[in-house]
Structure 1
Amino acid sequence: MSQEISARGHEHHEHDEDAARLASLGYTSEFKRDMSLWANFALGFTYLSPVVGIYSLFAVALATGGPPMIWWLVIVGLGQLLVALVFGEIVSQYPVAGGVYPWARHLWGRKWAWMTGWIYLIALLTTIAGVTYGSGPFLAQLLGFEAGTGSTITCALILLALALLINLMGTKALAMAAIIGFSAELLGALAVGGWLLITERHHNLGVLFDTQGIASDGGYFGAFMAAALIGIYQYYGFEACGDVAEEVPDPTRQIPKAMRMTIYVGGAAAIFVCLSLLLAVADYAAVIDGTDADPVTTILNEAFGVNGTKVVLVVVMMSFLSCALSLMAAASRMMYSYARDDMIIGSRILRYFLPHRHVPPYTMIVGAVVPAIIILGSVVSTKALTSIISFATLGIYLGFQMVVLAALRARLKGWQPSGAFRLGTWGLPVTAAALAYGVTAMVIMAWPRTPDVPWYDNWIVALSAALGTGVGLVYLVLAKPYQNTDALAGDAIPGEATPPQTPTPHV
């Protein structure tokens, strides 16, 4: 009994410290700190979702770069680890809901923060649309629906509705769903991958260095660079750990740890899944020339049969649902953070909390409705859907690098991180290396790959990013939303803080 009382007292003291730290940043919170370290890590892992990422891009990457494409999972993993280390320092000092938006505000200022949040939020909403639309064929196959645009849209909307329902149930339900999703995805990936390595292995590890005769105009290098997308599209999600900073006890220590765990475990799982599939492909030539356009389904059918494949698809669908859940949670906290600072249209509604669930319901509804509208647009044009979703990953990377750039600028102007997690003398070189990596990754994403199509199709990723950023800039200049808030800004740099106009904390 005395131990239980002591534990409760420690927990109460810890929550008081968390509240005091938040109050020092100008906020009180209506969230409940119901998310443990493992649940926070599970949220990041299911957002990163190695099964979703690998299963979605395996065929394209293998056809583009051959088996050596797997090395991009190692290269990009190391690059994103640098970004996660930078984010860990920032969230440790500024453990505020909303992630990149409040981080950018403290590091640089309100205008920079508004644009960072805008780009990241639009990218998140389009990513939700892309993930749920991508799940449509798998769910349709599982339910026995006839393949087609109609069944894909229907199944995508079903998944969206389920993700919204679970999110509306509160932080505890989200945490439980994340842990269940993480457990199912990791165990499923290990079981499926292990079985493939035991029963369907057609090659040895030497094939990971075999280009299978693939070459581009510049030799194999160009083909290898084009295959980078399997890694670049895989390694984000760790930032979601920081989006829910006000729902995690002792966030200054726990969240940086959860971010790193997401990279380590998620990366290892992605590499294992990709390796097991690569060694199970019976005919690389058929995948490369397009004869076998869906090698994942081919492998699963051969290894497990039709009924066994349905069991695997259940795990795959749990992965898609968990990924959509985590994305929606991240988007809703971002919108809430904007609304709490009066930085977005409809702030009064968007910052409303469900009294008993302690979550902002209207931001979650927006996080489901906007992706649903994007998905429904595919009835008119699947090309339009592709164009919209093309912005998703580049936008998320751009949002990341705006924070990394702000951190580098702040360091050069005297910022000394003061959170529980600090990089010390490694801070400056790690931040500079993270920025260099991020810029390189964005160039690779935006670089044209299809010279035979019209120029606007060839540059669709860059054009989509320019359009999304341009709309935000126009709104920023005309509406001046940054003038609506008195939130502390630029305080990371000594002597440059823009102080609040009133001492009243935001609620």
Structure 2
Amino acid sequence: MSRVSESDPGAHHHHEHDADAAALASLGYQSEFRRDMSLWANFALGFTYLSPVVGIYTLFAVALVTGGPPMIWWLVIVGVGQLLVALVFGEVVSQFPVAGGVYPWARRLWGRKWAWMTGWVYLVALLTTIAGVVYGSGPYLAQLLGFTAGTRSTVICALILLAIALAINLMGTRWLAMAAIIGFSAELLGALAVGTWLLLTERYQNLSVLFDTEGVVDSSGSYLGAFMAAALIGIYQYYGFEACGDVAEEVPDPTRQIPKAMRMTIYVGGAAAIFVCLSLLLAVQDYAAVIDGTDADPVTTILHNAFGETGTKVVLVVVMISFLSCALSLMAAASRLMYAYARDDMILGSRLFRHFLPHRHVPPYAMLVGALVPAVIVLGSVFSTKALTSIISFATLGIYLGFHMVTFAALRARLKGWVPGGPFSLGRWGMLVNVAALAYGVLAMVNMAWPRTPDVPWYDNWLVALSAAVGVGVGAVYMVLARPYEHSEAISGDAIHGPLGGPTESAGAGHER
């Protein structure tokens, strides 16, 4: 057999795909996706979803006003915390390489009800995140197109980006993979080029500013409170690695490749984000002007000073490629989650959402929802003066909640005897890493939801926590009344009971607690 593989690479790939299909069948599924996504494309998908340029350019001004230059340390702190989460996810996806990410992982680790809520929370957060990304792109696209800055132009540009992302996603996995690699290449090279140029020609500060807290305090006069509030730039930055697992049925040898792609996303994306943020921080001429609001858009100011009108346009093209790639990856993740839900009959309209385009091998109606719901959220931002921060705060808390419903389920499964059975395993370090990942996630969520504006009405002060409670509450009410988790006999709760955590029984076999 090895001789055939060496002489005929096509036969090798065919054999590999057959093995992947057999492994998926042992988990209870037959895929309609094509395995057209290489390791590098899978990594690029996670990278463009994490998107250093999108994360930093969107929240640089907000974080600098809130916490001053030391806000950059959140990119290090959160990077370490999210690496722990990525390691736990790597163990889970290595054993259960099923499309949809957190929903099927939660289903196998715990059961149908927990999986349904995990999927619901994560889906709502993903759709909101798409809205946040395209809304954040609005001002940059408006500059590029020569529109007058304002809410209307931001909304129009956000809707344009959504339409383009939907069109590319509908073309299939191969186009998504190609767009991810192009987006990754443009973003990484652009970030390195812009950052290096700023460090060489526009450096007005020295590294001591990274420890400078002057003029930045919270409402109680404490810098610690201000620094904690600035955590959003790191927390918003470091998710996207899970998208590598959302497309598990489109990657050859997913049990080995996806955990590797997840870790690469954290390493490369984190390093790029820190470099971009550092180059911008050292290029700010007057921190006081940014913090007091005189310079409300420091990124644009820096780019104009460094590159002039024409050069800024070129940089903005790279920035827009980054935003588009990020929106593409998010929409792909949301559509795969919705498809996984629908394949198990866990969502209203399942027949539509699991429908595939015959030649493109993608679920079109799930993708359409991935564009329409964010469009409605973007249009609703017209009525909010602080739309971007509100959208991102809610989306980020929801993403983290979905993540840590999985890390909690994994910890519960370990305590009940689960031994990860995939090729990627943390071995005796698994329990410690799992506990640390969950502890990090809980602390991050508390920090995100913590009320910090006592001078505003209580409901505004608790906006992030209230919006999350409403999202979870609506899902819980629907789950209790409609019992969608009863619509499917797909396998669930089998991680603990199978040999080495392997699948053995169906959802009806009494594993649900």
Asked whether the 8 Å contact 1:388–1:464 carries over to 2, the reply is: no
Please name the residue that 1:154 is paired with.
Answer: 156
- What whole-Å deviation, never above 9, does each CA across 1:268-293 have from its counterpart, x for those lacking one? 00000000001111111111111111
Please name the residue that 1:124 is paired with.
Answer: 126
Please name the residue that 1:406 is paired with.
Answer: 409
Q: 1:168 to 1:382 in 2, by over 3 A?
A: farther
Asked whether the 8 Å contact 1:415–1:493 carries over to 2, the reply is: yes
- What whole-Å deviation, never above 9, does each CA across 1:396-435 have from its counterpart, x for those lacking one? 0000000000000000000000101000000000000000
Q: Which moved more, 1:153-162 or 1:421-430?
A: 153-162
Deviation of residue 498 (structure 1)? Answer: 9.0
Q: 1:62 to 1:177 in 2, by over 3 A?
A: same
Match among 110, 132, 135 for residue 133 of structure 1: 135
Q: 1:101 to 1:215 in 2, by over 3 A?
A: same
State how far apart, in whole Å, the 1-side matches of 2:204 and 2:310 are: 23
Asked whether the 8 Å contact 2:108–2:495 carries over to 1, the reply is: yes
Deviation of residue 378 (structure 1)? Answer: 2.9
Please name the residue that 1:500 is paired with.
Answer: 506
Asked whether the 8 Å contact 1:487–1:499 carries over to 2, the reply is: no
State how far apart, in whole Å, the 1-side matches of 2:156 and 2:431 are: 48
Asked whether the 8 Å contact 2:236–2:392 carries over to 1, the reply is: no
Deviation of residue 149 (structure 1)? Answer: 2.0
Please name the residue that 1:220 is paired with.
Answer: 223
Please name the residue that 1:95 is paired with.
Answer: 97
Asked whether the 8 Å contact 2:246–2:337 carries over to 1, the reply is: yes
Please name the residue that 2:253 is paired with.
Answer: 250
Please name the residue that 1:207 is paired with.
Answer: 209
Q: 1:192 to 1:480 in 2, by over 3 A?
A: same
- What whole-Å deviation, never above 9, does each CA across 1:77-97 have from its counterpart, x for those lacking one? 000000000000000000000
Q: 1:40 to 1:476 in 2, by over 3 A?
A: same
> Within 5 A, what are the aligned runs for 1:176-187?
176-187=178-189
Deviation of residue 25 (structure 1)? Answer: 0.7
Please name the residue that 2:242 is paired with.
Answer: 239
Is 1:274–2:277 an aligned residue pair? yes
Deviation of residue 381 (structure 1)? Answer: 4.5
Q: Which moved more, 1:202-211 or 1:39-48?
A: 202-211
Asked whether the 8 Å contact 1:349–1:362 carries over to 2, the reply is: yes
Is 1:361–2:367 an aligned residue pair? no
Deviation of residue 296 (structure 1)? Answer: 0.6
Please name the residue that 1:466 is paired with.
Answer: 469
Is 1:416–2:419 an aligned residue pair? yes
Under a length normalisation based on structure 1, what TM-score does the superposition of the two structures give? 0.96
Please name the residue that 2:74 is paired with.
Answer: 72
One-letter code of the match for 1:280? A
Please name the residue that 2:287 is paired with.
Answer: 284
Partner of 2:237, secondary structure, is coil
Q: Which moved more, 1:226-235 or 1:394-403?
A: 226-235
Please name the residue that 1:321 is paired with.
Answer: 324
Partner of 2:24, secondary structure, is helix
State how far apart, in whole Å, the 2-side matches of 1:78 and 1:282 are: 31
- Aligned-residue sequence identity (percent) comes to 81
> Within 5 A, what are the aligned runs for 1:189-200?
189-200=191-202
Q: 1:220 to 1:185 in 2, by over 3 A?
A: same
Asked whether the 8 Å contact 2:88–2:407 carries over to 1, the reply is: yes
Please name the residue that 2:298 is paired with.
Answer: 295
One-letter code of the match for 2:232? L
Asked whether the 8 Å contact 1:394–1:465 carries over to 2, the reply is: yes
Partner of 1:463, secondary structure, is helix
* Unmatched 5+ stretches in structure 1: none
State how far apart, in whole Å, the 2-side matches of 1:322 and 1:100 are: 22
Q: 1:468 to 1:162 in 2, by over 3 A?
A: same
Under a length normalisation based on structure 2, what TM-score does the superposition of the two structures give? 0.95
Q: 1:420 to 1:501 in 2, by over 3 A?
A: closer
State how far apart, in whole Å, the 2-side matches of 1:372 and 1:115 are: 24
Please name the residue that 1:82 is paired with.
Answer: 84
Deviation of residue 380 (structure 1)? Answer: 4.4
Q: Which moved more, 1:184-193 or 1:222-231?
A: 222-231
Deviation of residue 32 (structure 1)? Answer: 0.3
Asked whether the 8 Å contact 2:4–2:12 carries over to 1, the reply is: no
Deviation of residue 215 (structure 1)? Answer: 2.8
Please name the residue that 2:45 is paired with.
Answer: 43
Deviation of residue 391 (structure 1)? Answer: 1.9
**Number of aligned residue pairs:** 503
State how far apart, in whole Å, the 1-side matches of 2:75 and 2:388 are: 27
Is 1:53–2:55 an aligned residue pair? yes
Asked whether the 8 Å contact 1:377–1:385 carries over to 2, the reply is: no
Please name the residue that 1:437 is paired with.
Answer: 440
Is 1:264–2:272 an aligned residue pair? no
* Unmatched 5+ stretches in structure 2: none
State how far apart, in whole Å, the 2-side matches of 1:380 and 1:62 are: 25
Please name the residue that 1:391 is paired with.
Answer: 394
State how far apart, in whole Å, the 2-side matches of 1:273 and 1:120 are: 28
Deviation of residue 146 (structure 1)? Answer: 1.4
